[in-house]
Amino acid sequence: MLIGGSLGGQQGMMLAFVFALVMNVGSYWFSDKIVLRMYRATEVGPDHPLYRVTARLAQKAGLPMPKVYSIPDASPNAFATGRNPQHAAVAATEGILRLLSESELEGVIAHELAHVQNRDILISTVAATIAAAIMMLANMARFAAIFGGSSRDDRENGSPLVLLVTAILAPIAAMLIQAAISRQREFAADRRGADIVGTPLGLAQALRRIDAAAKQIPLDANPATAHMFIIKPFSLGAIGSLFSTHPPTEARIQALMGAQARML
Protein backbone atom coordinates (compact mmCIF):
# COMPACT_ATOMS: atom_id res chain seq x y z
CA MET A 1 0.00 0.00 0.00
CA LEU A 2 2.90 2.38 0.73
CA ILE A 3 4.44 1.68 -2.66
CA GLY A 4 1.09 2.01 -4.39
CA GLY A 5 0.46 5.30 -2.64
CA SER A 6 3.86 6.66 -3.63
CA LEU A 7 3.17 5.86 -7.26
CA GLY A 8 -0.47 6.76 -7.63
CA GLY A 9 -1.59 8.59 -4.51
CA GLN A 10 -4.86 7.43 -2.98
CA GLN A 11 -5.90 5.60 -6.13
CA GLY A 12 -2.59 3.72 -6.30
CA MET A 13 -2.86 2.75 -2.63
CA MET A 14 -6.38 1.41 -3.14
CA LEU A 15 -5.32 -0.52 -6.25
CA ALA A 16 -2.44 -2.12 -4.32
CA PHE A 17 -4.72 -3.03 -1.43
CA VAL A 18 -7.34 -4.65 -3.66
CA PHE A 19 -4.67 -6.49 -5.66
CA ALA A 20 -3.03 -7.93 -2.52
CA LEU A 21 -6.37 -8.82 -0.95
CA VAL A 22 -7.68 -10.68 -4.01
CA MET A 23 -4.43 -12.62 -4.43
CA ASN A 24 -4.29 -13.58 -0.76
CA VAL A 25 -7.88 -14.78 -0.62
CA GLY A 26 -7.61 -16.64 -3.92
CA SER A 27 -4.36 -18.36 -2.99
CA TYR A 28 -5.57 -19.26 0.49
CA TRP A 29 -8.80 -20.89 -0.66
CA PHE A 30 -7.94 -22.41 -4.04
CA SER A 31 -4.19 -23.07 -4.27
CA ASP A 32 -4.59 -26.74 -3.20
CA LYS A 33 -7.04 -27.54 -5.99
CA ILE A 34 -4.96 -25.66 -8.55
CA VAL A 35 -1.65 -27.36 -7.76
CA LEU A 36 -3.13 -30.86 -7.48
CA ARG A 37 -4.79 -30.47 -10.86
CA MET A 38 -1.56 -29.04 -12.29
CA TYR A 39 0.31 -32.26 -11.47
CA ARG A 40 -2.56 -34.60 -12.44
CA ALA A 41 -2.73 -35.94 -8.89
CA THR A 42 -5.29 -38.65 -8.14
CA GLU A 43 -6.71 -39.34 -4.69
CA VAL A 44 -5.89 -42.73 -3.14
CA GLY A 45 -7.73 -44.73 -0.49
CA PRO A 46 -6.95 -46.92 2.54
CA ASP A 47 -5.61 -49.77 0.40
CA HIS A 48 -2.72 -47.61 -0.87
CA PRO A 49 0.61 -47.72 1.04
CA LEU A 50 0.91 -43.94 0.94
CA TYR A 51 -2.50 -43.61 2.61
CA ARG A 52 -1.60 -46.09 5.35
CA VAL A 53 1.67 -44.32 6.21
CA THR A 54 -0.05 -40.93 6.22
CA ALA A 55 -2.90 -42.15 8.44
CA ARG A 56 -0.49 -43.63 10.99
CA LEU A 57 1.63 -40.48 11.19
CA ALA A 58 -1.32 -38.07 11.22
CA GLN A 59 -2.62 -39.90 14.27
CA LYS A 60 0.79 -39.66 15.99
CA ALA A 61 0.95 -35.93 15.21
CA GLY A 62 -2.59 -35.32 16.45
CA LEU A 63 -3.74 -34.05 13.05
CA PRO A 64 -6.97 -34.65 11.14
CA MET A 65 -6.53 -37.18 8.36
CA PRO A 66 -5.56 -35.25 5.20
CA LYS A 67 -6.54 -36.29 1.71
CA VAL A 68 -3.79 -38.34 0.07
CA TYR A 69 -2.80 -38.08 -3.59
CA SER A 70 -0.49 -39.93 -5.95
CA ILE A 71 1.26 -38.04 -8.76
CA PRO A 72 2.04 -39.99 -11.96
CA ASP A 73 5.69 -38.96 -12.29
CA ALA A 74 8.90 -40.98 -12.06
CA SER A 75 10.84 -38.16 -10.37
CA PRO A 76 10.88 -38.64 -6.56
CA ASN A 77 9.22 -35.78 -4.71
CA ALA A 78 6.33 -34.89 -2.40
CA PHE A 79 4.46 -31.86 -1.09
CA ALA A 80 1.62 -30.82 1.22
CA THR A 81 -1.02 -28.24 0.46
CA GLY A 82 -4.33 -26.94 1.81
CA ARG A 83 -5.46 -23.87 3.69
CA ASN A 84 -5.40 -25.42 7.20
CA PRO A 85 -5.06 -28.81 8.95
CA GLN A 86 -8.77 -29.49 8.43
CA HIS A 87 -8.47 -29.03 4.66
CA ALA A 88 -4.99 -30.43 4.00
CA ALA A 89 -3.69 -32.76 1.33
CA VAL A 90 -0.46 -34.74 1.03
CA ALA A 91 0.81 -35.73 -2.40
CA ALA A 92 3.76 -37.89 -3.45
CA THR A 93 5.03 -39.03 -6.81
CA GLU A 94 5.05 -42.64 -7.92
CA GLY A 95 8.82 -42.28 -8.20
CA ILE A 96 9.26 -41.60 -4.49
CA LEU A 97 7.19 -44.67 -3.60
CA ARG A 98 9.45 -46.86 -5.73
CA LEU A 99 12.65 -45.29 -4.40
CA LEU A 100 12.25 -45.19 -0.63
CA SER A 101 11.99 -47.79 2.09
CA GLU A 102 9.06 -47.56 4.51
CA SER A 103 11.09 -45.81 7.21
CA GLU A 104 12.37 -43.28 4.68
CA LEU A 105 8.85 -42.70 3.35
CA GLU A 106 7.67 -42.14 6.92
CA GLY A 107 10.29 -39.41 7.31
CA VAL A 108 9.11 -37.68 4.13
CA ILE A 109 5.41 -37.83 5.02
CA ALA A 110 6.13 -36.67 8.58
CA HIS A 111 7.97 -33.68 7.10
CA GLU A 112 4.93 -32.83 4.97
CA LEU A 113 2.57 -33.23 7.92
CA ALA A 114 4.84 -30.88 9.88
CA HIS A 115 4.23 -28.26 7.19
CA VAL A 116 0.50 -28.77 7.71
CA GLN A 117 0.78 -28.56 11.50
CA ASN A 118 2.96 -25.44 11.33
CA ARG A 119 0.55 -23.84 8.82
CA ASP A 120 3.47 -23.31 6.45
CA ILE A 121 1.14 -23.47 3.47
CA LEU A 122 -0.51 -20.26 4.67
CA ILE A 123 2.85 -18.63 5.53
CA SER A 124 4.36 -19.40 2.13
CA THR A 125 1.20 -18.23 0.36
CA VAL A 126 1.28 -14.88 2.14
CA ALA A 127 5.02 -14.48 1.47
CA ALA A 128 4.57 -15.31 -2.21
CA THR A 129 1.60 -12.97 -2.52
CA ILE A 130 3.48 -10.07 -0.97
CA ALA A 131 6.43 -10.69 -3.28
CA ALA A 132 4.12 -10.81 -6.30
CA ALA A 133 2.37 -7.60 -5.29
CA ILE A 134 5.69 -5.79 -4.84
CA MET A 135 6.87 -7.01 -8.24
CA MET A 136 3.66 -5.77 -9.86
CA LEU A 137 4.04 -2.37 -8.22
CA ALA A 138 7.72 -2.26 -9.17
CA ASN A 139 6.71 -2.73 -12.81
CA MET A 140 4.41 0.26 -12.43
CA ALA A 141 7.33 2.23 -10.97
CA ARG A 142 9.62 1.35 -13.86
CA PHE A 143 6.96 2.45 -16.32
CA ALA A 144 6.53 5.72 -14.43
CA ALA A 145 10.29 6.33 -14.28
CA ILE A 146 10.84 5.64 -17.97
CA PHE A 147 7.84 7.43 -19.41
CA GLY A 148 7.25 10.02 -16.72
CA GLY A 149 4.47 10.39 -14.21
CA SER A 150 1.11 11.68 -15.28
CA SER A 151 -0.03 13.13 -11.99
CA ARG A 152 1.09 15.75 -9.52
CA ASP A 153 1.77 13.05 -6.91
CA ASP A 154 4.20 11.32 -9.31
CA ARG A 155 6.13 14.54 -9.97
CA GLU A 156 6.50 15.35 -6.25
CA ASN A 157 8.09 12.00 -5.37
CA GLY A 158 11.66 12.80 -6.43
CA SER A 159 13.84 12.04 -9.40
CA PRO A 160 12.99 9.34 -11.92
CA LEU A 161 16.42 7.77 -11.27
CA VAL A 162 15.62 7.14 -7.60
CA LEU A 163 12.25 5.72 -8.59
CA LEU A 164 13.87 3.43 -11.16
CA VAL A 165 16.52 2.13 -8.73
CA THR A 166 13.84 1.48 -6.10
CA ALA A 167 11.71 -0.30 -8.69
CA ILE A 168 14.60 -2.61 -9.59
CA LEU A 169 15.72 -3.37 -6.02
CA ALA A 170 12.27 -3.81 -4.46
CA PRO A 171 11.33 -7.06 -6.25
CA ILE A 172 14.83 -8.49 -5.71
CA ALA A 173 14.54 -7.81 -1.98
CA ALA A 174 11.04 -9.30 -1.93
CA MET A 175 12.20 -12.52 -3.59
CA LEU A 176 15.20 -12.82 -1.26
CA ILE A 177 12.96 -12.46 1.79
CA GLN A 178 10.44 -14.94 0.40
CA ALA A 179 13.20 -17.49 -0.26
CA ALA A 180 14.72 -16.99 3.20
CA ILE A 181 11.34 -17.58 4.87
CA SER A 182 10.84 -20.75 2.83
CA ARG A 183 14.30 -22.10 3.73
CA GLN A 184 13.69 -21.47 7.42
CA ARG A 185 10.35 -23.29 7.28
CA GLU A 186 12.03 -26.30 5.64
CA PHE A 187 14.44 -26.63 8.56
CA ALA A 188 11.52 -26.33 11.00
CA ALA A 189 9.51 -29.00 9.15
CA ASP A 190 12.54 -31.32 9.17
CA ARG A 191 12.81 -30.96 12.96
CA ARG A 192 9.10 -31.46 13.59
CA GLY A 193 8.93 -34.35 11.13
CA ALA A 194 11.74 -36.12 13.01
CA ASP A 195 9.83 -35.56 16.27
CA ILE A 196 6.66 -37.11 14.81
CA VAL A 197 8.48 -40.25 13.66
CA GLY A 198 10.71 -40.40 16.74
CA THR A 199 14.00 -40.37 14.85
CA PRO A 200 15.60 -38.17 12.15
CA LEU A 201 17.44 -41.05 10.49
CA GLY A 202 14.72 -42.02 8.01
CA LEU A 203 14.22 -38.45 6.79
CA ALA A 204 17.97 -37.81 6.55
CA GLN A 205 18.48 -40.90 4.40
CA ALA A 206 15.40 -40.06 2.33
CA LEU A 207 16.69 -36.55 1.60
CA ARG A 208 20.02 -37.94 0.42
CA ARG A 209 18.39 -40.50 -1.87
CA ILE A 210 15.75 -38.11 -3.25
CA ASP A 211 18.33 -35.42 -3.97
CA ALA A 212 20.53 -37.85 -5.93
CA ALA A 213 17.62 -39.41 -7.85
CA ALA A 214 15.95 -36.09 -8.65
CA LYS A 215 19.10 -34.97 -10.46
CA GLN A 216 18.88 -38.04 -12.66
CA ILE A 217 15.11 -37.75 -13.21
CA PRO A 218 14.15 -34.07 -12.79
CA LEU A 219 10.54 -33.13 -12.19
CA ASP A 220 8.92 -30.92 -14.81
CA ALA A 221 7.65 -28.49 -12.17
CA ASN A 222 6.14 -25.05 -12.43
CA PRO A 223 8.57 -22.60 -10.73
CA ALA A 224 5.62 -21.03 -8.87
CA THR A 225 5.15 -24.29 -6.97
CA ALA A 226 8.83 -25.16 -6.38
CA HIS A 227 8.70 -24.07 -2.73
CA MET A 228 6.09 -26.72 -1.95
CA PHE A 229 8.22 -29.80 -2.69
CA ILE A 230 10.44 -31.55 -0.14
CA ILE A 231 13.41 -31.22 -2.53
CA LYS A 232 13.66 -28.39 -5.05
CA PRO A 233 12.61 -29.83 -8.42
CA PHE A 234 15.47 -28.24 -10.36
CA SER A 235 19.03 -27.18 -9.58
CA LEU A 236 20.29 -23.62 -9.40
CA GLY A 237 23.71 -22.07 -9.82
CA ALA A 238 25.65 -20.25 -7.12
CA ILE A 239 23.84 -16.95 -7.67
CA GLY A 240 20.50 -18.68 -8.06
CA SER A 241 20.93 -20.40 -4.71
CA LEU A 242 20.33 -17.03 -3.03
CA PHE A 243 16.80 -17.21 -4.40
CA SER A 244 16.37 -20.93 -3.65
CA THR A 245 13.29 -21.89 -1.67
CA HIS A 246 15.16 -24.82 -0.09
CA PRO A 247 18.35 -25.01 2.02
CA PRO A 248 21.18 -27.16 0.63
CA THR A 249 20.26 -30.80 1.14
CA GLU A 250 23.56 -31.53 2.90
CA ALA A 251 22.86 -28.73 5.40
CA ARG A 252 19.47 -30.25 6.16
CA ILE A 253 21.01 -33.69 6.65
CA GLN A 254 23.68 -32.28 8.98
CA ALA A 255 21.02 -30.52 11.05
CA LEU A 256 19.05 -33.76 11.33
CA MET A 257 22.11 -35.77 12.32
CA GLY A 258 22.93 -33.11 14.92
CA ALA A 259 19.46 -33.64 16.35
CA GLN A 260 20.10 -37.39 16.41
CA ALA A 261 23.35 -36.86 18.34
CA ARG A 262 21.49 -34.78 20.93
CA MET A 263 18.93 -37.58 21.40
CA LEU A 264 21.66 -40.11 22.26
**pLDDT band at 238; cut points 50, 70, 90:** very low
On whether the CB atoms of residues 29 and 83 are closer than 8 A, the answer is yes
104, 106, 112, 186: which is the annotated catalytic residue? 112
pLDDT tens profile 177-228: 778 888 899 999 999 999 999 999 999 999 999 999 998 998 988 877 888 8
Q: Which residue has the higher pLDDT, 110 or 127?
A: 110
**Does the predicted TM-score (pTM) go above 0.85?**
no
d(CA 7, CA 84): 36
Q: Are strands 42-43 and 78-82 parallel, antiparallel or unpaired?
A: unpaired
Q: Which amino acid is it at 144?
A: A
Cα–Cα distance, 90 to 67 (Å, whole number): 6
pLDDT for 132 = 67
Helix (H) or strand (E) holding 92: strand 88-93
Is 94 a known active-site residue?
A: no
